[in-house]
Amino acid sequence: MKIITYNVNGIRSAMSKGFLDFLQTEQPDVVCLQEIKANEADIDRAAIEALGYHCYFYSAQKKGYSGVGILTKIKPDYVTSGMGHDLFDAEGRVITAHIKGYDIMSCYFPSGTTGDIRQTVKYEFLDAFYDFINHPNNSAKKFIVCGDYNICHKPIDIHDPVSNKNSSGFLPEEREWMDKWFDAGMTDSFRHFNTEPHHYTWWSFRAGARARNKGWRIDYISVSNTMKDQLKEAGIYSTYVHSDHCGSYITLKK
């Protein structure tokens, strides 16, 4: 099974830039989308379904904002939207497809870059999401948590850790949360295979950052430690350009 996570920064924009050609080329079984920025009625479902995908979307109540989705060639047993939190569910932050015994999640963590209020909201989300995943009822589940976490975990994950030490997305409190997240039974699938620097998933639109590879790795596929041995491969699709992010993927052994 091949699973991709991708913050498309507007699904309609990404589709106009060749996103469907990307899917035809890479042939993922499951695609987790973030920041779809569209209501379901405004998405060309037929074009996606023509490639063999079942489509599930969870849009924000605010038009043109946030939203997540899952495209899957394997029909889920069921799909659940939200995490039982009024604010974050209104913002369309989490959707989960239950497929072949896996809980495959597409998650869009809040950004704190617009100021202190949203940074506080981000911390609230991190606490709520951690508790949501680590609820005792979930102890036996096999989680595959795909998404834009909006956090660089370690200095290796950001092009300039020194000048960004006070930047949202690389703050000590955020990075400590990532430590806690992985210590609590999750594996960073990309770092499971690759410990080299200069691998990023987001670049600013400013100052030619992408061409100069001045990026941040803020998109992750975390998997439950209990299924770590099922990981076959993980990587980043840095050469495809449909967004200010790029896709990441894992493949699982049969």
Kindly report the number of other CB atoms within 10 A of residue 166's CB atom.
8
CA 248 to chain CA mean position, Å: 9
- d(CA 59, CA 182) in angstroms, rounded, equals 28
- d(CA 191, CA 118) in angstroms, rounded, equals 29
β-bridge mates for residue 71, sequence order: 31, 55
148 is catalytic: yes
Q: List Cα–Cα distances, 194 to 28, 157, 222, 226, in angstroms.
A: 21, 12, 14, 20
Among 29, 89, 131, 148, the one annotated catalytic: 148
Alpha-helical segments (H) within 67-155: 86-90, 116-133
Alpha-helical segments (H) within the chain: 11-16, 19-26, 45-49, 86-90, 116-133, 172-183, 189-193
Cβ(154)–Cβ(135) below 8 Å: no
Residues annotated as catalytic (active site), given as ranges: 148
